[in-house]
Chains A and B, each alone.
Chain A
Amino acid sequence: MDLFLNIFIGGLLIGGIYSLVSMGLSLQYGVGKVYNIAHGEFLMFGAFITYWLQSMGVNPLVAVVINAPLMFIVGFILYRTVFTGIRVRSPNPGVFESNGMLAAFGLYFIVQNIAVLIWGSTPYSYQYLNTSVALGPSDFHLNRIIAAVFAIAIGVIFYIFLASTRSGKAIRAAAQDTATAGLMGVDINFVLAMCFGFGAAMAGIAGTLISVCYPIQTTMGLGYTVIATVVITLGGLGSIPGSFIGGFIIGIITTGVAYWEPGLAVAAYYIIFIILLLVRPKGIMGR
């Protein structure tokens, strides 16, 4: 029983970060219609910016204040320059999705190789709040608990933003039907770019939180993109609450699998993914 409780709490802690990454991808794909394979690279860049800032004496959690707006601006500009161009040139949404994904591939190569040229491909790590705290039947690192709380807080704040502000309403409208939302007076290019920017910012924040807990590496991005893909498929494409809950579910499952056999954690996501595609491709919260 203690073992299950341990796996459950450990899963919730890592699940918070997964939720944040996946909500970002869900915004980019669900609303912006760009399956951003470079999502994990934004996360990696966020982690390295945090590493760089903390080596100059900035508290890693304060680094979020610099990191998130920076990523938002980068994401916003990228969407306005590259993806809007592709969207305007594409004859139909299907063509935009596949061309957008290919362009995201290009982005993946560019971002990752810039990072490798700057930081090389060796792992980096630093110590931050590395003390143990009793939580349930056993001890967990304080930094992981803080990271999970932080991730959950950002998820909740973003949900309130979506539910109750005018911009949030515009994003929800664009998620339902991009073309119609545009006809109803939503500045669609601005809203889609904003979604892409928010997605990038969430990846950046998740990167900060990951760098607080684990060693970081320039090649770690793709793994998180795959996790986020499984989570948004589980949660339902474009559903923000679905991604939020899905992140915790995947977190718990992978913690459980990693407990029995760490080498097969990725295989576990993939099997979940196959079962989902076969049984319910809409996901748990999909329409």
Chain B
Amino acid sequence: MNLSNISWRKLGLNAGVPLVILIALIFVPFYGSWADYGITLFSLFLVYIILAVAWAMFTGSTGYLSLATAAFYGIGFYAAALLYPAEGALVPLFVVVLVGAAVSFVLAFIVGAITLRLKGIYFAMFTLGLVLLMYQVVNYWLISVLGIRGIVVALESNEVIYYYLVGILVVSILVAYFIKRSKWGLALRSIGDNEEAAAHTGVNVTMIKILVFAISAALMGAVGVIVATKTTYVDANTAFNPMISFSPALMAIFGGMGNLYGPAIGATIFTYIQEILQTGSLKNYYMLIFGLILIATILYLPSGMMGLIQNLWNRIKGARRRALTRG
């Protein structure tokens, strides 16, 4: 009796809550007087949630700080620019998403193979450099070789963009969940705890790091394709903007990476703040606040908002249990 009770609650939490959120995501933005703005805002939420979840998938457990998000996101942009231009799409959008994901996967695989044998800090430097390199090379190629600055992408309707993003979110959450629950997840966490020990116990450390890095990159590439059909104009400045590397990282750290919900909560909160403080010099205040919160989080909230909530919850539960046993 007691046992079945517990398992029902667990099932409810593990499957029920995400299902309710998913159903809400599918219907909520289309109702009420704010439907037009709602769908744009929710699309933005989804973009950052996916990026933060994908980032945390690799960095959260291994501790390798990747700053290459913008590189893979930018690849998605250019996949859309080349295969889905305004003059006429060469292939359906679905295929473009797959191509963006595949190219990001391959690039991440190569970058991972080069760098993931090295110490953590080199990896962070290298991935940051990768974004700047891609910016330079693409800019050079467009301006000096082709003689153009940007490419116009075919515009998609808000609804199509939104449902594609919901689809990618579902895939990301499922992938993140199954990686976490599988042998790989255990291997990744053991790498994060002590890489040498993990290698000695027979984990193929390099292979697992590279594969998970590449999977997270593929998700970022897929998001890039969809965002490109929303902004419609692709140039190196929007595609390889270093902020795209930094924002999801902060969001995930602020939300807490020990839990799948953490990055999503962090992304929602920060995207909303960003949306409010978007115009003119307020944007600089947003980034200033961003920096202050990042430092404060690292100093005082090492496990993020979810860690804080869990601590509070444990304390409440503990108090209740103590009261029960005493009574």
Q: CB of B115 within 8 A of chain A?
A: yes
By beta carbon, the residue of chain A nearest B292 is: A110
Tell which of B100-108, B121-129, B163-171, B222-230 binds the partner: B121-129
Flag if B299 contacts A270 (CB, 8 Å): no
Give Cα distance in the complex from A222 to B295, angstroms.
19
Alpha-carbon distance between A277 and B129 when the two chains are bound, in angstroms:
13
In the complex the two chains form, what is the Cα distance from A233 to B126 in whole Å?
A: 11
- Report the Cα distance A264→B201, complex, angstroms: 45
Task: Tell me if A23 counts as interface (CB < 8 A to partner B).
Answer: no
Considering the chains assembled together, what is the distance between the CA atoms of A102 and B121 in angstroms?
A: 11
Chain A: interface secondary structure? helix
Cross-chain contact A113 with B294 (CB below 8 angstroms): no
Q: A85 to B298: give the CA distance in the assembly, Å.
A: 10
Interface presence of A278 (CB below 8 A): yes
Cβ of A263 and Cβ of B129 under 8 Å apart?
no
Q: Is the CB of B122 within 8 A of A277?
A: yes
Q: Which residue of A lies closest to B288 (CB)?
A: A113
- Give the total number of A-B pairs whose CB atoms are below 8 A apart: 120
B178 at the interface (CB under 8 A from A): no
| B124 → A minimal CB distance (Å) | 6
A226 touches B299 (CB 8 A): no
Rounded to whole angstroms, the CA-CA distance of A251 and B180 in the bound complex is 46
With contact pairs A105-B291, A113-B284 given, residues A99 and B298 touching in the complex (Cβ less than 8 Å): yes
B288 touches A273 (CB 8 A): no
Contact indicator A278/B143 (Cβ below 8 Å): no
Q: Pick from B122, B242, B290 the residue with the most CB of A within 10 Å.
A: B122
Q: Does A267 contact B (CB under 8 A)?
A: yes
Q: Which residues of B contact A226 (CB under 8 A)?
A: 128-129, 132
Question: Is the C-beta of A108 less than 8 angstroms from some C-beta in chain B?
Answer: yes
For residues 40 through 74 of chain B, which have their beta carbon under 8 Å from a beta carbon of chain A?
A: 63, 65
Q: With contacts A94-B120, A101-B124 known, is A113 near B65, CB below 8 A?
A: no
* A267 engages B137 (CB within 8 Å): yes
Does B144 count as interface, using CB distance less than 8 angstroms? yes
Q: Which of A75-126 contact B (CB under 8 A)?
A: 82, 85-86, 89, 94-95, 97-99, 101-103, 105-110, 112-114, 116-117
- A95 → B minimal CB distance (Å): 8
In contact, A266 and B132 (Cβ under 8 angstroms): yes
Q: Could you tell me if B294 and A263 are in contact, using CB atoms closer than 8 angstroms? A: no
Does B285 sit at the interface, judged by CB under 8 A?
yes
Residues of B within 8 A of A105 (CB): 246, 249-250, 291, 294
Residues of B within 8 A of A (CB): 63, 65, 114-115, 118-122, 124-126, 128-130, 132-133, 136-137, 139-140, 143-144, 242, 246, 249-250, 253, 281, 284-285, 287-288, 290-295, 298-299, 302
* Sampled A-B contacts (11; CB under 8 Å): A97-B120, A98-B65, A99-B302, A102-B249, A102-B253, A105-B249, A113-B284, A233-B122, A263-B139, A267-B133, A278-B114
